[in-house]
Each structure stands twice: as C-alpha cells, then as structure tokens.
Amino acid sequence: MTRKNKHSRILLIFFNLFLILILLIIIDPLVGVFIEENEGETRNISFKENKPNSVIKVAPYKKDKLNEPVVKRTDKHGFILGPGEKSTDKIDFIFLGSSTVENENVRENKRYPYLSIENLNQKLQTNYISRNAGVGGNLISNSNLSLTVKIVDLNPKYIVLSSSLIDILYLSKNESYWTGSKKLVESSKPGISLLKSLKELLFPNLWLQARKFIASGDISDFQGSQFSPKDKHRILSHYEKQLDVFINTCQIYNIKPILMTDYYIPELIRNNLIRKKIFNSEEANYYVQTLIPSINNIIETKSRLHKIPLIRLNELVEKNELYINSEDGVHLTNLGNEKVSKIISTFLVQHLAYEKN
C-alpha cells in the first residue's frame, strides 16, 4: 500500500467516525422521546480546592517592589507549599480559610501559614510541618467540606481557622450558605460539563494562562441582592452554626482547633464596598461598625466556651496600610504577612508551653 493510499484510508476512517458521532447526537434525543425515559438531573457537591501537584505563576501585589511573578505550588493534597517543601502525609498545622489565608499574590517564602511555623521552629528548635489550605472565595461552609473530605484523614495536630469577613459579606447578600453561587450542591448541565472536560483535556495550559486575565465573578455574589447586612440575626445565626460544625468536627477527630480573627483596616473596607457598589454608605458603615465586631464577639465566645485558643489578629496587629492591600483593606501584603507571622509564632510558643504544663 502506497503512502498516499494509507493517508486516504486514515482520513476515510476518521470521516466515518465523525458521521457516526453526528448520527448518535441526532438519534439520542429521539430515543428519549419514544422510550419516554428520563434519567433525571445530575447534581454534584461543589468542592473548591487548589489543584493538587500544580505550579502556577500569578501577579504580585502592586506594592511588591520586586515586580516579578509569584509562584504558587501545591502538594498532592492541594495544599499550598512553602519554598523547598514537598508532599507529605505528616502535617502538624493546617491553616484553613479563604483568600486571606491563601495569600496567592504573596511571595512563596512570606505567606504566613508557612512563615509563622518556620519562625516557631526556629524559636523552639522543632520541626513542625505546616500547610496552607486557604482557597480564594471559600466560605466556612466550604472549609468545613474540605475538613471532612480530606483534612481529618490526615490527622493534623492543629487546625487554625480564619474565616469571617467573607462569610458575613456573602450572607449579607445571599439568604444562606445553601443559596447563591457558593452553595454546596450544584446541578450539572451536560453541555457545560462537556465543554469543561474538553477545555481541561485539550487546552489546559492555554486556559491556565488565560484565566489570570479574566476578571473574577465573585463580585456578582454580592451585588444587586434583596438581602441586607442589617439582617444581623440571620447572618450571625448561619455563621455561628457553621463555626460549631468546625469546632465539633475537630474535637470528634481529636484535632485541636485554633480560632483566629481577621486583620482588616475599617476605612479601606468601607471605601472598597462603596466603590464596587456592593453596599451604599449606610450599609457599609453598618458592616464595618456592627457586623464585624459582632462576628468577632461570636468567635471569642466560642473560644471561651470550648476553651479553644484564640489569636486576635484584629487587636494584636496595629492598623498599618503597608500591611494590607489598599484596594480592599483585608488581603495582607508581603510585609503584612511577615508581621502576622511573628504574632502567630509568638502566640504558638506561649500556647505550646501552656499545653506542656
């Protein structure tokens, strides 16, 4: 067989396969009409994590003088690694929360879930291993799912939870944790699922690069809603129940929880919420002056009730705009991470000494 004939035969095979595919696409819905069967709706649990064993580069904060891409590496569990770290099942400290824990745009050696335990090891001459389980956009309900699905099986000694500001923001604009774009149960549309699968299969690298320049849709979670931050009882009630889920799950699995309040600069948060048209001026003031102190009070109450260590970042770190992303008032810069790491490591030194006694 000549090379030309061989190529023609291959093309003919592909053409026939293509025709068969088209026929199946046409016939499939007709079969459903005549047989009168419906397999029902496909639903999935929405489990958001950083992809395991990934290496991506993202833009640094504008205040980063080096102005070079930031590396974000993950281990086999999808946890963010520090410089030189590798996958392991032996983990002592896990830091859990959203983007304020993830610190995606911060230097690899500055992210506080890594640096605070490095500082701790230097002070105590120990070899504790920490992992950053923060995921941008995750609410405490999402973190609780991660806790149950993959963290408890690793049996870490401690889990440090920092999740409050994004929760009360989301609940200000959505009825509960079970509604809106971050709800845990989602319907799966076949066409969209197929496109996502093809994207992952055919264009994984192109998509990875392109998504860095696509604006996040998270803002839509908080805009144009009938709900209000002034619905204080509903908001605090939902959060308190999920905080109880976290505490109880840790205690059931003999993991020691540590609670931590979020660091923030009130005026920057207020200006950001108004600028992005998430809240009007009155709502923004209520969020900053009433909701945030109320959520911190719940965290402190749970700490006392269950005798859980509490790191009060909102009180222990002075309000310094060099520590925070001025565009939102909540995300720590490289310098902010260094400052917070010292606070956390100092606290843990004292707590571990207390535990021994």
pLDDT digits (tens, 9 = 90+) for 12-70: 888 888 888 888 777 776 666 566 666 677 788 878 899 999 999 988 887 767 778 89
Q: Give 55's strand partners.
A: 73
Q: β-strands 130-132, 185-187: how paired?
A: unpaired
Q: Give 256's strand partners.
A: 158
C-beta of residue 162 within 8 angstroms of C-beta of residue 148: no
Cα–Cα distance between 312 and 332 in angstroms, integer? 15
pTM of the model: 0.84
Cα–Cα distance between 277 and 105 in angstroms, integer? 24
Provide the CB-side half-sphere exposure for 316 (13 A, CA): 17
What are the angstrom distances between the C-alpha of 285 and each of 157, 232, 238, 247, 290? 39, 13, 21, 30, 8
C-beta of residue 119 within 8 angstroms of C-beta of residue 342: yes
Cβ-count burial of 354 within 10 angstroms (0-12 exposed, 13-18 middle, 19+ buried)?
A: exposed
Cα–Cα distance between 253 and 234 in angstroms, integer? 29
pLDDT digits (tens, 9 = 90+) for 209-263: 555 544 444 555 565 568 889 999 999 999 999 999 999 999 999 999 999 999 9
C-beta of residue 103 within 8 angstroms of C-beta of residue 111: yes
pLDDT digits (tens, 9 = 90+) for 66-101: 778 899 999 999 999 999 999 999 999 999 999 999
The average pLDDT across 334-357 equals 95
Helix 165-173 and helix 232-252, axial crossing angle in degrees, nearest 10: 130
